[in-house]
Structures are given as C-alpha cells and as structure tokens.
C-alpha cells in the first residue's frame, strides 16, 4: 500500500504538484501523508495525520518534491511516523512502500554509530543508512545502491538529496513508474497520477535504480552498470471517476453493475474462448487471488466442477507460495485481481514464472503490474473502482468466470443469456422499493454484535464474500461458512436473537441449507433468507429471483447493498474503511 509521488523539473511549485498527485493516489493509503521539498541545501517537510482529500499543503517554492500517502505498517498513525523520513542532517528524505524486514538489526547498528531516530518506523533506517554510506567516498547514487542492497523484504524507495538536487528511486516488489516530460520528471506508484502531464513513461523493473536530475540515468542494482533508457508511450485513457448523483462511490459502483455485466455478455466471447483453450491445453489450472478476488476464484472452482466437469484449484494467493511445488511448464496460473498490484498475488506469480508456468491475468487495471507480467490477459473493463470495498470488479470477475465455464462446453450463447438475465435481476433489486426493504434489514443488523452467513455449493463463496463485505464497511464481526460446517463447531455461538443470513437459491443446495436454517432457528437464531421464494423458516426475506446458474451473481448484490446501508446507518465512511487500502502492495 502507500502512494508515492515525486517531481523534479522546471516548475517551481513542486509541492503543489506532489500534493495533487498524492490526492489521486489516496486510494493506496489514507491514514497520514507528507511532502518534502528542497529548500536551498536542506529540505522542508510538511506532514499530517488524516486523509489528504480535504487538506492543504504549506511548503516553500521548489522544483523538487517527494511525497507519500501512508497505510501504516510499522509504527502507529502519528505525524512522526508519516513519511518522508529524514537523516540526522536533514539533507536526505525518503518515502517508502514495503517493509524493511531487517530494520531492527539495521537500526541497532545505526544507533551504535550515533544516528538519532525520531519515529517507530522501519523506513527511518533508510535515510540514516544512506547518510552513513555517504560518509565514505561514495556519491549519492552509490550510497543508495549500497543501502538498498542491505534491505531485506520487498521495497520501493524514493530518495531526495538536497545537496545534489537529485531524486533516486529503486525497487523490488511494489510498482514505480517514471514519467518523462519536457525538462521535468514525475515518479509515482501509479501512472494515473501524472498521465495528464506526460504519456512517455518507464516502468521501473525490480532491482533497477533511476536517477533523476537535469537528466535521467538508469542503473542495474546488482551490477552497478548503466542501462539504456528506453521510454514507452502509453496510449491508454484513464477514466476519472466522480460520484455524480450518489453520496458515496460504493453505492455508485453497486448501481453500475448491470452495465458491467452487459458489457461482458456482449463483448468478451473471443477472448474467453481463447482462455478456455489455454485451460484445456494445460495440465493443471490454478486460480489465485486475495480477499474478494479469492472468493471469485473459489466460485470459479465450483462452476468448473458443475458446468465444465473440470477440476480447477483455487488458492488464497498469499498461501500459494506454500503450494507451488507441483507447478511446471504445463501449469496455468490464473490471477484474479481488481487492482493488478496486490503483492500477495504478484509474489507467487513471479515464482510460478520461474517454474515455467503460464500466467493469466484477470484484472480491472490496464498496465498494472499483474497485467504487464501475464502471458494472457483479460481486462474487466468495470471502470475505476474507487470505494475500497470491491463490488463491481467482483461482479465482473464472476461474469467472466460464468462465460468461461460455458465456453469450456461450447455454450457461450447460454452464458450470455444468463448474464443478461442477471443484469435485469440486479436492476430489479436496485429499484427503490426493493432496496428500501434491504435498508430495513440493515437497520436491524447494524446493531448486532455478531452475524453469521451460510451457503452451500456455489453459494459458499457468496457466504464468505458477504461476511467480508459486511465486516469491512460496518465493522460488525461477521463470519461466513459452509452450511454443513455450522454443526461442527460454530453453532455453539448461536443463541436467542443471533442473526444468520442464509443463501438459499433454487439449486441443488436448497434442501440442505433450509435444514441448516431450521437447526439455527431451533436455537433462537433469526434467519435472513436470500432466496427466490419466501420460506416458513425465514424471519426476514430478501428476494433474488431464480436465474439458474447465474443466481449467485445477483444474490451477492443484495448483500453489497445491505453492507452499504449498515455502514451509512452506523455513520461510517463506506468508501474508506479504517485500516484498509484499495491497493495492497505490502506482504
């Protein structure tokens, strides 16, 4: 997580340029932010706790600035812990994305050498390390290189050094991209933050170091050798998203879902057919993803079994490193990722690549790291997803997966029809009278102390996703589980008044899940049924009409709305839940 933005060039309002760039990067972390500018032979720094959105910056005119919007890893959310961090002489400023895994040992060594630390962060060792290396005869670039080589973990760092009027960036892991303007350079975690200024870019590769001053130099960190600078011109258009008539991005994005589904139904046949051929050719296909994206993958596993009669594994991406030993040249690893930047996904993909496996990306962000590293890619085209809780990208992934399983059995036309029905059903759920009913249930649930969600078959991943959505925006502890698992332990937590959401679509799970609901009700639980028809066991009924194999797409929308209204009811910001970030670029 964390957003990095830097500027060096012919304009003297570098602080404002960085400030505006950071605002675009706020989705990467929003607990605090800071900017440093060169002021003579020193640096001036302005740091704040809180979101950058409504803030202002107070720094002198300068043509060099580095900035950061933070998602805390090491050290609480305080001004002292926010970036940039400085060396003892206040000549070196560092912003950082990642975790310095050996920072305690480095800090101890540096303290012994007389360095003074003012924060609890891992990052602060970096400026002091560079300061220490500068004491020898090394120049700025060599000192940065030497220091970077001492850091363990996946790190992207950007350093401003006032005496040399240069910015240096180096990375392994998290993304950094350089923008080359006329007599100026931009550097950021995400190209969208400067795309209005220049489309000439260099995506920094792992273990490359870029030096930006009057000119640009690229160095290989392992060899120290100079590399050729070959910029590419991106032609992508980045849509900026505004809330329009909606009070929050989350609700706007929920309402955009029918459009996203129709787009996939109507335009994806060729690429989906090509992917189905890759799956048929592979000896072993694996979906990997984190959080919501993992739930999409798990849904895929159920769909592949039922509709395509094919086994496809799904793993939590951060666990895939421990399950990779069977991967080989014939394996296909399909990464699901809205942002395309999740480090928990990138890391196992890199390792799968080393084993010769083919990589497929199903992502929403053109040009993202996962998009660029894939051999075959499917772009979700759901439009920018700004709310931290993923909604439309999830629905887009589910839609692609439905098309894919039907393509496996050469029945894409059936999938298209089902998707169009799902889009219509979602339109119906979103109508005022139906959403008002969901609002009522949200009122009841927002005062619950804990909630359970159950489903079976393809509705089991829906239960996991429903629980995740509710807890991330309402903070009400919620657990999703397979209906059959309840009696193996969790039923001990059901007592009078415990709310349990039950997914009971009209499929092969119906009878068993209704039996589970009856078991819960016998112990005092309150049942919120999500089904085609009302059932005697339901205390509350939210209707999602039967649309056969696509019912699981529409049923999750009812829960997205429920979670959203719970957050609103509790006076919480559903777009920026505490402790979360949209792009998760640390392990």
In the complex, the residues that contact ligand F6R under the rule CB under 6 A are 290-293, 337-339, 342, 345, 389-390, 468, 472, 584
Q: Which is nearer to ligand F6R, 202 or 387 (CB)?
A: 387
Minimum distance of ligand F6R from residue 201's CB (angstroms): 21
Q: Which is nearer to ligand F6R, 1 or 312 (CB)?
A: 1
Q: Which is nearer to ligand F6R, 162 or 476 (CB)?
A: 476
Q: Which is nearer to ligand F6R, 208 or 341 (CB)?
A: 341
Minimum distance of ligand F6R from residue 584's CB (angstroms): 5
Category of 524 on φ-ψ map: left (φ > 0), alpha (ψ -120 to 50) or beta: left
Q: Which is nearer to ligand F6R, 407 or 584 (CB)?
A: 584
DSSP 67: E
Q: Which is nearer to ligand F6R, 5 or 564 (CB)?
A: 564
Residues 6+ away with beta carbon under 8 Å from 175? 156, 189, 190, 203, 204, 341, 368, 369, 585
Contact in structure between 329 and 356 (CB atoms under 8 Å): yes
Minimum distance of ligand F6R from residue 473's CB (angstroms): 8
| Tokens (6 digits) for 73 | 């890893």
Residue entry with tokens 């006032």 = 162
Closest CA to 279 of 262, 306, 301: 301
Residue entry with tokens 């950094």 = 176
Residues 6+ away with beta carbon under 8 Å from 244? 252
Contact in structure between 269 and 283 (CB atoms under 8 Å): no
Minimum distance of ligand F6R from residue 363's CB (angstroms): 8
Residues 6+ away with beta carbon under 8 Å from 250? 387, 389, 391, 473, 560, 564, 567, 574, 575
Q: Which is nearer to ligand F6R, 9 or 175 (CB)?
A: 175
2 is catalytic: yes
DSSP alpha helix (H) spans, 182-268: 249-255, 257-267
Whose CB is nearest to ligand F6R?
291
Cα separations (Å) of 473 from 293, 480, 576?
A: 17, 15, 8
Minimum distance of ligand F6R from residue 432's CB (angstroms): 25
Catalytic pick among 107, 469, 576, 582: 582
Minimum distance of ligand F6R from residue 166's CB (angstroms): 33
Minimum distance of ligand F6R from residue 582's CB (angstroms): 7
Pairing of strands 64-70, 166-172: unpaired
39 is catalytic: no
Compute and round to an integer the Cα radius of gyration of the chain: 25
DSSP 446: T
Catalytic pick among 2, 38, 416, 545: 2
Angle at 361 between CA 355 and CA 364, to 5 degrees: 155
Residues identified as active-site: 2, 582
């Amino acid at each position: 997580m964390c957003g990095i933005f830097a500027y060096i060039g012919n304009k003297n309002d570098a602080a404002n340029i960085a400030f505006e760039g950071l605002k675009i990067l706020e989705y990467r972390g929003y607990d605090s932010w800071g900017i440093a500018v060169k002021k003579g032979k020193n640096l001036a720094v302005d740091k704040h706790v809180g979101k950058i959105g409504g803030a202002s910056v107070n720094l002198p005119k300068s043509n060099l600035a580095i900035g950061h919007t933070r998602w805390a890893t090491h050290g609480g959310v305080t001004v002292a812990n926010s970036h940039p961090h400085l060396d003892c002489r206040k000549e070196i400023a560092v912003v950082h994305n990642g975790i310095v895994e050996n920072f305690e040992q480095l800090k101890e060594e540096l303290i012994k050498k007389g360095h003074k630390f003012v924060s609890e962060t891992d990052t602060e060792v970096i400026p002091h390390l560079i300061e220490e290396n500068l004491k020898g005869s090394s120049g700025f670039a060599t000192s940065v290189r030497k220091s970077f080589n001492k850091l363990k973990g996946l790190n992207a760092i950007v350093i401003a050094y006032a005496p040399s009027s240069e910015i240096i960036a180096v990375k392994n892991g998290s993304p950094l991209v350089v923008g080359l303007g006329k007599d100026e350079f931009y550097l950021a975690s995400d190209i969208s933050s400067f795309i209005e200024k220049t489309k000439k870019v260099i995506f920094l590769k792992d273990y490359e170091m870029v030096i930006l001053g009057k000119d640009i130099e690229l160095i290989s960190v392992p060899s120290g050798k100079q590399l050729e600078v070959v910029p590419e011109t991106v032609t992508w258009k980045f849509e900026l998203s505004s809330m329009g008539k909606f009070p929050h991005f989350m609700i706007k994005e929920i309402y955009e879902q029918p459009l996203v589904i129709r787009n996939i139904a109507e335009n994806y046949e060729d690429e989906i057919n090509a992917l189905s051929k890759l799956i048929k050719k592979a000896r072993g296909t694996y979906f990997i993803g984190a959080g919501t994206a993992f739930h999409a993958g798990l849904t895929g596993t159920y769909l592949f079994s039922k509709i395509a009669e094919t086994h496809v594994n799904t793993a939590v991406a951060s666990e895939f490193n421990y399950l990779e030993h069977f991967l080989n040249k014939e394996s296909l690893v399909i990464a699901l990722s809205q942002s395309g930047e999740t480090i928990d996904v990138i890391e196992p993909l890199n390792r799968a690549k080393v084993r010769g496996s083919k990589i497929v990306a199903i992502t929403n962000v053109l040009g993202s790291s996962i998009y660029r590293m894939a051999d075959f890619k499917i772009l979700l085209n759901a439009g920018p997803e700004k709310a931290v809780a993923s909604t439309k990208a999830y629905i887009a992934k589910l839609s692609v997966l439905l098309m894919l399983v039907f393509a496996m059995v050469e029945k894409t036309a059936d999938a298209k029809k089902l998707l169009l029905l799902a889009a219509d059903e979602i339109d119906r759920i979103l109508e005022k009278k139906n959403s008002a009913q969901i609002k009522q249930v949200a009122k009841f649930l927002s005062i619950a102390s804990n909630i359970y969600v159950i489903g079976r078959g393809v509705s089991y991943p829906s239960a996991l996703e429903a629980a995740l959505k509710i807890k991330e925006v309402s903070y009400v502890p919620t657990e999703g589980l397979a209906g059959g698992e309840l009696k193996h332990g969790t039923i001990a937590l059901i007592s009078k008044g415990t709310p349990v959401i039950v997914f009971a679509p009209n499929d092969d799970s119906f009878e068993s899940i209704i039996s589970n609901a009856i078991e819960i009700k016998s112990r005092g639980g309150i049942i919120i049924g999500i089904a085609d028809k009302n059932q005697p066991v339901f205390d509350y009924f939210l209707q999602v009409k039967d649309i056969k194999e696509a019912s699981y797409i529409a049923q999750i929308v009812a829960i997205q709305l429920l979670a959203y209204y719970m957050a609103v009811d509790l006076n919480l910001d559903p777009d920026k839940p505490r402790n979360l970030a949209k792009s998760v670029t640390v392990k």
